[in-house]
Amino acid sequence: MKEKNNSKELIISEKANSQEVLTFSTNPNREGRVLILAVGGAGIPNTHYNLNENLREALEKIPYLVDSAQKIDYLALLKKDSADMTAQDVASIATTIYQYQNAYDGFVVVAGTDTMPYAASATAFALRGMGTPIIFTGATFDVQEWDTDFRLNLPNAIKVATMGAADVNAPSFGEVGILFDDSLSRATAAINRGTRSNNPIYTPRVSKLGDVGWTIKLESIAKQRHPSQLNYSYNINVNVAYFDLVSETHISSFNQLVEDKTVRGIVIGAFGAGNVPGLLIPSIYQAVYEKGKAVAVITNNKKGSSDMGLYDVGARAVKAGAISLGPMTKAAAIEKMRYALNNAKGEDQMKFLQDVARLLLTAVAEEIPKDFSRQAVNLIRDRFSKKPLPLSLFYKELKKSQANYTVKTYCRSKYTKYKILTISMGGTFYMEINSAGSLWPTKRPLGDLLDIKVNGLERLTSLDYIELHNTDSTDITHTHRKELARVIAKYKDHYDGIVVLHGTDTLAYSASSLSYMLIGIDKDVIFTGAQKPGYGSSDFDRNFVKSIKAIITRLKQPVSERVRPGVKVAFGDKLMIGSTVIKEDEHGINAFAPVEKHPVAGKLAYQIELYDITKNVKKRPFTLYTEFDSGVAYYECISAIDIRQFERLIENPEVSAVLIGGYDTGNMPQQMKYYISTAVNSYDKPIAFISHNDNGIAEINASPRIKEFIKAGGIALGDMIKESAFQKLGFAQGVVKKLGLTGHEKMGFVRKFMHTNFVGEISDHFCYAGDLVYKKIFNAKTITDIDIQKSLDRFTERYRKVRCHTKNTKRKVLKKKHKKRK
């Protein structure tokens, strides 16, 4: 049945391609000839079987569109949800423009927003050197509505596509761009932040190309129209995989891609500056030098760049054969990999790989800076033509680091009553440059760094510290977090608050994990770190002291007005709750932020401001639970993916549950619903999904399309973020294993667990909606909040509290002993 549907869609698409273009309007008083191509999106209604009639209906609903150009022609190539577009569908855009390149002064492509950065990047690579403006645009909601943004976006796109058409000396635009609202963005630098924003497409790593209003103001970085030097390429290679790293990455799911004979290129979304866990290094080495696969690395932060020589954990991946793609975005990197695999040449496996690397690092459509491109191409010129270094020369299997539980006193205050415990896990703040020129954990004691940075801290607080671990956060595992949670539980009653010093790459994962391990904690546990090494000019001292001040500021509030305690993150000028924070910037001082769908918990300036954003979250007794399930895998949707990669993931016996990173509203390729149903009903594996867009939400009461994924058994997680959802799914799975649940009873319990707001990680209205929508799906007994709390109470771990060692408590202990003797 699926094959028939696909073939039918292909026939419709081919018919549309074979049609001649139609004319919408002519206006001799205007300049420029433009061709509008449509492939789908909210801007096009679906009222006619004929695709061109749908497109014409959309154009007729835009007032004064005829005044936008001398001639407006149109052609509907297909009408698909952009999540379902295949590589052939995307390639048809460039093929059509190539066919009509000399007939028009500019082209406008109307498409869906979910995969628009992919389609626009693919078009830019396929039409290298064309020099004619190609503007992608669309709508965030239905064209039938009077206030739809399509009424603004399409005329503005035509305006940019035709500017300078009649006068070579006039300002003009000459590359592939994306236009939404009043912003013109470079196609190969764009990302989608979700349609809850007026402008869902933007470029956080580079400046936008221009502002489009009554007039058009282009930035100097925008390319002008130029004579065509077109080098057309038909890129439909589907043998590409994307692997987005999460903390304690599921190694066997990456090894599946290494062993998969259909996969020729892998793009890794790495932490921070392209940092890769040590456990992944042998797999990368095997993929490149034994299997002949191209492995490229980008940063999965919203801002920043893959600078893999900065940290030792990145430098090792380069030695293993990984190719650093600098500031390239995910969409651009995946489409560039498709382009490179399609165009590379080589007599043998390694020569082919060498040419793939050259093409990946050669600037084609401004996707990487030209200076970076030239330097990178020179550095990898002979990398794959030489015999590779033996893995043992640069990689040693990580030894399990031994926790150090010793409590040391840094200072005692005569000025204040407050007492803070600091627990160090390692990170950039505690690194120095090694002999290879990369950052590596220092061997100096933490007390030395505190002496340099916060000498005289006793004016603010008394401080004890524990050097629990000194590990690059890329290599932090669940075992490290268990040890941290148990230490906090042990000492929490002896201190006014706890500051955890942690590396930035996986700090958000650790903060989320500890939020669930320590539900109901009555003290502030604040995570912080630094973007620069502490031994030098660094943000460490500011972040560390602001964390302490945030704890003290809360304690100074009247008890009746005091904000809720809990696990939080203090970084730069923001205080955030631990379950809603992401690392968004690799280089900036304000590296962390809650995504747009969640508020901040405070401002850290000269005056500390605290906001009680969790005051409506149900209060729960303190529980310590650390037995999370480590079999959870993460799968992120990308454009034109081979859906069989997801099928193999759910068949992996080492994978116990999957979190899917969907597009806006949680959308994903329609075929996914069949595999979700198989995972839930045949393999007994829970499947949850989020929107991986900044402002996206995996809606529960959503469109009929999203409801199909829900009916299949997928658990929509509303406004939860990836880091928090991943840890919470492991938390839920851990409890379910203890309970011994299976089948629909297990699915019902996991669903209710994920739709319980423990620490402010998910909005209550999504929890209520989940209770209503999923009632009939798993046909299991109704699980209530009481059942969830009983399971936590039942399995909460015992921990030994530390006795206070102040003079007063010693006197009380001696008095009790004396009475007993009497």
Q: Catalytic residues, which ones? A: 428, 504
Residue 233, helix vs strand vs coil: coil
Closest CA to 521 of 557, 560, 559, 493: 493
Closest CA to 475 of 532, 402, 401: 401
CA atoms within 13 A on the CB side of 787: 17
Residue 103, helix vs strand vs coil: coil
Q: Where are the alpha helices (DSSP H) in 195-345?
A: 251-259, 281-285, 312-319, 330-343
The token duo for 471 is: 């590990």
Torsion sign (Cα): 721, 723, 726, 730: negative
The token duo for 741 is: 């649940």
The reply, when asked if residue 764 is annotated as ligand binding, is no
350's CB contacts (< 8 A; 6+ apart) are 292, 384, 385
Residue 427: its H or E element: none
- Orientation angle between helical segments 722-739 and 785-795, nearest 10 degrees: 70
Closest CA to 129 of 238, 273, 230: 230
The token duo for 647 is: 């099928």
C-alpha–C-alpha distance, residues 691 and 577, integer Å: 20
CA distances from 439 to 258, 268, 274, 757 (A): 29, 21, 13, 39
Residue 606, helix vs strand vs coil: coil
C-alpha–C-alpha distance, residues 199 and 181, integer Å: 6
673's CB contacts (< 8 A; 6+ apart) are 708, 709, 711, 712, 714
Torsion sign (Cα): 239, 245, 251, 252: negative
SS3 sequence of 657-691: EEEEEECHHHCCCCCHHHHHHHHHHCCCCCEEEEE
Return the amino acid letter for 787: D
- The residue written with tokens 């165009």 in the block is 343
Residue 633: its H or E element: strand 632-636
437's CB contacts (< 8 A; 6+ apart) are 309
The reply, when asked if residue 473 is annotated as ligand binding, is yes
Taking residue 560's Cβ as centre, other Cβ atoms within 10 Å add up to: 5
The token duo for 68 is: 């936008």
592 and 569 Cβ atoms separated by less than 8 Å: yes
β-pair type (632-636, 608-610): unpaired
DSSP state of 388: P
The reply, when asked if residue 183 is annotated as ligand binding, is no
Taking residue 810's Cβ as centre, other Cβ atoms within 10 Å add up to: 12
C-alpha–C-alpha distance, residues 636 and 262, integer Å: 19
Question: Distance between alpha carbon 220 and the CA centroid of its chain, in Å?
Answer: 30
The full length of the chain comes to 822
The token duo for 115 is: 């995969």
Q: What are phi and psi of 176, to 5 degrees?
A: -90, 125
Which residues pair with residue 217 across a beta bridge?
211
Q: What are phi and psi of 251, to 5 degrees?
A: -60, -40
DSSP state of 26: E
Return the amino acid letter for 681: N
CA distances from 452 to 100, 105, 287, 544 (A): 67, 63, 45, 13
The token duo for 612 is: 């009680």
Q: What are phi and psi of 324, to 5 degrees?
A: -80, 125
Closest CA to 672 of 716, 612, 632: 716
Angle at 477 between CA 309 and CA 719, to 5 degrees: 95
Binding-site residues, in ranges, read 473, 504-505
Q: What are the binding residues for substrate?
A: 473, 504-505
